[in-house]
C-alpha cells in the first residue's frame, strides 16, 4: 500500500505571538523574525522531494509557505487551502491571554480545561475543529500516494495532527511543543496518521521561536 509522507509546518512568528494575543482566523502577517524563520525552513526543505505545498490562506501561513516554495529548486505547486485555517476563536480573537482571563473568566476556564464542546462566542469547538483538520489533511494526503506533501498552517492545526497521529484525546494535557517554523513529520495511510518526528528546529540557528498554545 502506498503511503503519503507529510511535513507539517507552523507559520513563522508574528507580533501577536510575541504579545500572546489570540489570532485565530484574523489575518496577521509575519514579523521580521517570522520572515527569517520562514526563509530558514525553506532552506531546510530545499532538498526534499516535495510534490505539493498546501497552506492556510491566512497571511502568516501563506508567507511561510511561499518562502518554502521559493527556496525549492523544483518549484512545487503552492496551493491555498482555507480549511487549514486556525481554529475560529470568536470573541477571543484580538485579546491577550491575560485579557481573556480577566474579561471572560467562565469561558477562559472552559478553554483552559479543553472542554471539547465549548466554543468561544462566535467560534469553533474542539470537536468541529478536529474533524475539519483531520478530514482535510487526510484528503490532501490521499491525493499524493507515495509522495511527500507539505502542509503549512497554525499551532492549533499542529496540535490536532499530533493528537491524530499519537492517539491523544482532545482533553489530554499538551506535553509536546508547537514551535514556530518547526518541521514536523508524519505518515498517512487510509488507516490514519502516524508520527515520524516532531518539533525539529535544528534549522533555526537563532532559535527565538515562540511556543504559544493556540494561535
- Is 212 catalytic? The answer is no
- Is 154 catalytic? The answer is no
Residues 6+ apart with CB under 8 A from 192: 138, 164, 165
Band of residue 205 on the pLDDT scale cut at 50, 70, 90: confident
Strand segments (E) across the chain: 4-10, 50-55, 77-80, 148-153, 183-189, 192-200
* Domains of the chain, each with CATH number or no CATH: 4-177 (3.40.50.1240)
Sequence ranges of the binding site: 10-17, 60
* pLDDT of 157: 98
Sequence ranges of the binding site for substrate: 10-17, 60
Q: Which of 33, 86, 124, 212 is catalytic?
A: 86
Length of the chain: 215
**What mean pLDDT, rounded, does the chain reach?**
95
Band of residue 206 on the pLDDT scale cut at 50, 70, 90: low
Query: Each residue of 32-66: pLDDT tens digit?
Result: 999 999 999 999 999 999 999 999 999 999 999 99
Amino acid at each position: 500500500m502506498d503511503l503519503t509522507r507529510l511535513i507539517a509546518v507552523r507559520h513563522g512568528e508574528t507580533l501577536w505571538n510575541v504579545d500572546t494575543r489570540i489570532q485565530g482566523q484574523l489575518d496577521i502577517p509575519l514579523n521580521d523574525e517570522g520572515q527569517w524563520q520562514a526563509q530558514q525552513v525553506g532552506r531546510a526543505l530545499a532538498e526534499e522531494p516535495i510534490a505539493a505545498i498546501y497552506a492556510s490562506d491566512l497571511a502568516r501561513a501563506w508567507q511561510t509557505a511561499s518562502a518554502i516554495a521559493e527556496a525549492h529548486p523544483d518549484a512545487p505547486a503552492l496551493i491555498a487551502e482555507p480549511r487549514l485555517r486556525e481554529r475560529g476563536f470568536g470573541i477571543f480573537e484580538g485579546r491577550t491571554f491575560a485579557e481573556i482571563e480577566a474579561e471572560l473568566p467562565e469561558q477562559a476556564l472552559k478553554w483552559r480545561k479543553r472542554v471539547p464542546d465549548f466554543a468561544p462566542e462566535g467560534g469553533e469547538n474542539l470537536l468541529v475543529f478536529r474533524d475539519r483538520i483531520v478530514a482535510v489533511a487526510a484528503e490532501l494526503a490521499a491525493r499524493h500516494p507515495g509522495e511527500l506533501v507539505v502542509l503549512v498552517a497554525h499551532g492549533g492545526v499542529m496540535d490536532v495532527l499530533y493528537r491524530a497521529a499519537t492517539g491523544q484525546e482532545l482533553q489530554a494535557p499538551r506535553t509536546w511543543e508547537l514551535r514556530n517554523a518547526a518541521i514536523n513529520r508524519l505518515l498517512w495511510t487510509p488507516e490514519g496518521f502516524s508520527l515520524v518526528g516532531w518539533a525539529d528546529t535544528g534549522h533555526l540557528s537563532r532559535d527565538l521561536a515562540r511556543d504559544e498554545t493556540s494561535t
